[in-house]
Amino acid sequence: MQDRERWSTRTAFIFAAIGSAAGLGNAWRFPYMAAQNGGGAFLIPYFIALITAGIPLIITEFAIGHKFQAGAPIAFSRIKKGWESLGWLTITASFVIITYYSVIMAWVTDYLWYSLKAAWANAPKDFFFGKVLQISSGPGELGGFSIPVIIGLILAWGAIYWCIRNGVRSVGKVVKWTVPLPVIMLGILVIRALTLPGAIDGVNFYLNPDFSKLLEPKVWASAYGQVFFTLSLATGVMIAYASYLPKKSDITNNAFITVFANCGISFLAGFAVFGTMGYMAFTKGALVSEVAGNGGIGLAFWTYPEAISLLPFGSVIFSLVFFIMLFTLGIDSAFSLIESIVAGLVDKWGWNKKKVVRLTCLVGFIISLIYATKGGLYWLDIVDKYINNFGMVAIGLFEVIAIGWLYKSSKLRSYFNPISEIKLGRWYDVMIAVITPIVLGGILIWNIVQEIIDAINGKFYGGYPLWAIIVGGWLMLAVVIIISVILGKIKSQNNLGRKAN
Ligand code: PHE
């Protein structure tokens, strides 16, 4: 076995962790989540979710990766014999996420080009669905490929591969650019947005608290889902990244820096997006809630371009800035998922890392083609919902059970406290062993009960037919579980694995 790869500096690691965390989830998912789930009041469940799950888990994942010097599967097999499959769950979940995340990156790539000539003209929504996605009538009709999406996808995967081709060495170099650049661009967009007439109405819409929403369990489930996704938790990414840290490395302070930087980016993005929406409402004489539409994916690909096209000057520049920001935000999240998968495979079987990177990107590209079909958007929507609301929360729950109950959180704490600048007290143990399992268990049960109630009422997510929910939701989760269990049972070939068994 060769020596393990290492980050060249502490900053390289922190940038890579922030790069993974800050992604497409910050720039449109967070602002929209906030607006839909009670505006400013959403910040309350969001912060509670950060404190009760996000922060304890990111510290735990950093500590696990650093202590066991391996990606998630081998790390969990060392935590508890027979628990290797939990690590593989994080890896297969990463694989599911990268296959659709790369397709959103493909749209962003296309929009870099379209921005140059404001190709959407006066109808950004029709342009997105008609020209770019060439959307079919429903999940039952794949309808062949959308050529623009395929071209974007080839470029996006090419870029992902290029960034990660030499492992953490090339990643360390790339994140020097892809972390500061989007922050600068975001700064430009925030200043532009807040100096437009009507911006204040947009900001009000974003932050005005509607406390009645706090009584809805759905809002809490969304907050926990958002915190998992935004911090790249339960995907093995943070475990793999921390495993490349040298022996004497800070754990807790690095975790806090990552969380604050990531959440700051989300919070700022809200001002850019909603300030601009306020302006659009102002020019159209409409309400912000009317122009913001139903948000989600649309927010980045047609609502925002439309708002930008109404600017008095420089709309080409500002839309270019926006899509370069999205691309640089997203690319380091995308390749972090590949790194997690590759670390899992290489640590167990000792294969040649470069070959595994190539193969993972190739297989990832081929599977992502499903979402490049004309019906791809429907499948992307279903898979995203089920892997996040059920997959990630369940994996997070198992992680805290493994550490809190089987390994013992106090033992992990006595490992990371001496090497860390910030020392954690017993609250960490209480959190990992009691509070986090209770809240995650509660959210998971609530999600399952809600799913059953909806099914009884014949109401399925997004109004999709039952068979599509079964295939894209439940079958997808079943395949993830089966593959993970099998991978966890196979005997490993190299030292790193054997030590564990
Ligand atoms: N955190 C990324 C975002 O907010 C997405 C991501 C999830 C990346 C899981 C890696 C792992 O866009």
pLDDT of residue 168: 92
Per-residue pLDDT of 163-174, as tens digits, reads 999 999 999 999
- Ligand 1: which of 227, 333, 335 to mutate, most ligand atoms within 8 Å of CB? 333
Q: Say whether pLDDT at 2 is over 80.
A: no
Report how far ligand 1's centroid is from the alpha carbon of 417 (Å). 27
20 lines ligand 1 (CB under 6 A): yes
Which phi-psi region, left, alpha or beta, contains residue 403 (left: φ > 0; alpha: ψ -120 to 50)?
alpha
68 vs 130: CA distance, rounded Å: 50
Give the tokens for residue 82: 């027979």
CATH number, domain with residue 345: 1.20.1740.10
| pLDDT given at position 499 | 45
Of 113, 501, 174, 152, the residue nearest 316 (C-alpha):
113
pLDDT tens profile 214-229:
999 889 988 999 999 9
Residue with tokens 């393990």: 4
Once rounded to an integer, what is the mean pLDDT over residues 64-92? 97
φ/ψ (deg, to 5) at 373 = -80, 170
pLDDT tens profile 118-142: 899 889 999 999 999 999 999 999 9
**In this structure, is residue 334 part of a structural domain?**
yes
Interval between CA 124 and ligand 1 midpoint (Å) = 26
Q: Euclidean distance between the first and final Cα of the chain, in Å?
A: 17
Residue nearest to atom 9 of ligand 1 (CA): 232
Residue 208's pLDDT band (boundaries 50, 70, 90)? confident
Give the model's pLDDT for residue 500: 42
SS3 of 298-324: the string is HHHHHHHHHHHHCCCCCHHHHHHHHHH
Please state the rounded mean pLDDT for residues 235-245.
98
Q: Based on the number of CB atoms within 10 Å of its own CB, is 209 exposed (0-12), middle (13-18) or buried (19 or more)?
A: middle
Domain count, the chain: 1
User: What residue has token string 């892997």?
Assistant: 387
Domain assignment of residue 494, yes or no? no
- Contacts of residue 484, Cβ cutoff 8 Å, sequence gap at least 6: 85, 86, 88, 89, 91, 92
Where residue 494 falls among pLDDT bands split at 50, 70, 90?
low
Q: Convert the pLDDT of each residue in 29-63 to its tens digit.
A: 898 888 888 888 899 999 999 999 999 999 999 99
Q: Is 159 helix (H, G, I), strand (E, B) or coil?
A: helix
| CB distance 230 to ligand 1 below 6 Å | yes
Q: Examine residue 384 and state whether it is found in any structural domain, yes or no.
A: yes
Q: Please list, residue by residue across 119-158, b when 16 or more beta carbons sit within 10 angstroms of its beta carbon and e when fewer do.
A: ebeeebeebbeeebbbbbeebeeeeeebebbeebbebbbe
Closest atom of ligand 1 relative to the 26 alpha carbon: 4
Alpha-carbon span 97 to 164, nearest angstrom: 17
Residue 500, domain member (yes or no): no
DSSP string, 372-429: GBTTHHHHHHHHHHHIIIIIIHHHHHHHHHIIIIIIIHHHHHHHHHHH-SSPP-THHH
CA–CA separation, 352 and 355 (whole Å): 6
User: What six digits make up the tokens of 69?
Assistant: 């010097």
Please give the angle made by the CA atoms of 425, 430 and 431, to the nearest 5 degrees: 95
pLDDT in tens, 397-452: 999 999 999 999 999 999 999 999 999 999 999 999 999 999 999 999 999 999 99
**pLDDT score for 32:** 81
Cα 24 to ligand 1 centre (Å): 7
Neighbours of 440 (CB within 10 A): 27
- Report yes or no: 18 and 258 within 8 Å, Cβ to Cβ: yes
496 occurs within a structural domain: no
> What tokens appear for 146 in the block?
């959308």
Cα 337 to its chain centre, rounded Å, is 9
Write the pLDDT tens digit of every residue in 330-344: 999 999 999 999 999
Ligand 1 center from residue 222 Cα (angstroms): 15
What are the distances in angstroms from CA 412 to CA 85, 416, 418, 426?
21, 6, 11, 12
Q: Give the number of other Cβ atoms within 10 Å of residue 339's Cβ.
A: 25
Q: If DSSP codes are grouped into helix, strand and coil, which group holds residue 144?
A: coil
Place of tokens 């604050």: 260
Pick from 331, 338, 330: which is nearest to 361 by CA?
338
Contact criterion met (CB below 8 Å) for 252 and 264: no
Q: In terms of Cα–Cα distance, which of 48, 117, 88 is closest to 497? A: 88
> With contact defined as beta carbons under 8 Å apart, do 70 and 496 qualify?
yes
- Quote the radius of gyration of the chain (alpha carbons, Å): 22
Q: Which atom of ligand 1 is nearest to the CA of 101?
A: 5
497 belongs to a structural domain:
no
The Å distance, Cα 29 to ligand 1 centre, comes to 11
Residue found by looking up tokens 């999205």 in the block: 326
Q: What percent of the chain has pLDDT over 70?
A: 97
> Is 436 in contact with 52 (CB distance < 8 Å)?
yes
The answer to the question of residue 495 being in a domain is: no
Quick one: 176 exposed, middle or buried, by C-beta within 10 A (0-12, 13-18, 19+)? middle
Q: Specify the residue for token string 């068994």.
A: 501
Find out whether the beta carbon of 72 lies less than 6 Å from any atom of ligand 1. no
Whether the CB of 333 sits within 6 Å of ligand 1: yes
What is residue 24's predicted lDDT score, i.e. its pLDDT? 94
Range of the domain at 117: 10-489
- CA of 16 from ligand 1 middle (Å) equals 12
The answer to whether residue 247 is domain-embedded is: yes
DSSP code for 299: I
Look at residue 245 and tell me whether its pLDDT is greater than 50: yes
Q: How confident is the model at residue 496 (pLDDT cuts 50, 70, 90)?
A: low
Instruction: Kindly tell me the sign of the dihedral angle through the C-alpha atoms of 217, 386, 146, 151.
Output: positive
Closest CA to 20 of 51, 52, 65, 79: 65
Residue 402's nearest CA partner among 184, 137, 84 is 84
